Amino acid sequence: MRKRKSVAQVLIGLLLVVALVLIPMACKAPEEAPPVAPPEEVAPPVAPPEEVAPPEEVAPPEEVAPPVVEIKPFRGLADVPEIENKRPIHIPLISGGSADIQIPYLAKFSDKTGVPVTYETMMSFVMYPKLTLELLAGTGSYDTAIVESTWTCEWTPYLWKM
């Protein structure tokens, strides 16, 4: 009856075969590289740099004009004007702590403006590929999206200019 060889015996046999093939190849003397010819021309010596004059004094900058429009702090919903277009808005939200904070504000916006706001919550690892496909296909499934800033770099060609 024939004995079966163990995996260890087979591996040792393979290692011996590989070693017997590679050792003679590694022990050969390296071939000598052909000699390198000396350069035909030598570059002329570089002249020392001329003296540089010290820089002239720079005039101080002129005063900057104040902004033309006074900038007011945003006061929240009190600053939202009357909206005539009551078309519903659909928004994807990244689930978790931030969505829990954003959802009540969506309801307040809807109450103030009369614009219905619907939303979907999903994990970011689900939202990223879903939004990517929606943008590539141009489906218009979402009216706006609150996303990670790192995603927008590759989406730039598909976003509307503001």
**Model pLDDT for residues 22-43, shown as the tens digit of each residue:** 666 666 666 777 777 776 776 6
More confident residue, 151 or 43: 151
User: At CA 104, angle to CA 98 and CA 107, rounded to 5?
Assistant: 135
Amino acid code (one letter) for 53: A
In sequence order, which ranges of the chain are alpha helices (DSSP H)? 7-27, 97-113, 124-137, 152-155
**Tokens, residue 52:** 């540089």
Which residues have C-beta within 8 Å of that of residue 80, sequence separation ≥ 6?
Answer: 109, 112, 113
Give 90's pLDDT tier (boundaries 50, 70, 90): very high
Residue 20 has pLDDT above 80, yes or no: no
Residue 120, domain extent: 86-158
Q: Is residue 101 part of a domain?
A: yes
Give 98's pLDDT tier (boundaries 50, 70, 90): confident
Asked if 123 and 95 count as a contact pair (C-beta separation under 8 A), the reply is: yes
Counted domains in the chain: 1
C-alpha 73/C-alpha 64 separation (Å) is: 22
Q: Is residue 131 part of a domain?
A: yes
pTM: 0.49
Q: Stretch 102-122: mean pLDDT, rounded?
A: 93
Length of the chain: 162
Asked if 106 and 159 count as a contact pair (C-beta separation under 8 A), the reply is: no
**Tokens, residue 162:** 């503001």
Q: Is residue 63 part of a domain?
A: no
Give 12's pLDDT tier (boundaries 50, 70, 90): confident
β-bridge pairing 117-122 and 89-94: parallel
Give 59's pLDDT tier (boundaries 50, 70, 90): confident
Residue matched to tokens 């979402």: 142
Q: Stretch 52-68: mean pLDDT, rounded?
A: 73
Q: Is residue 102 part of a domain?
A: yes
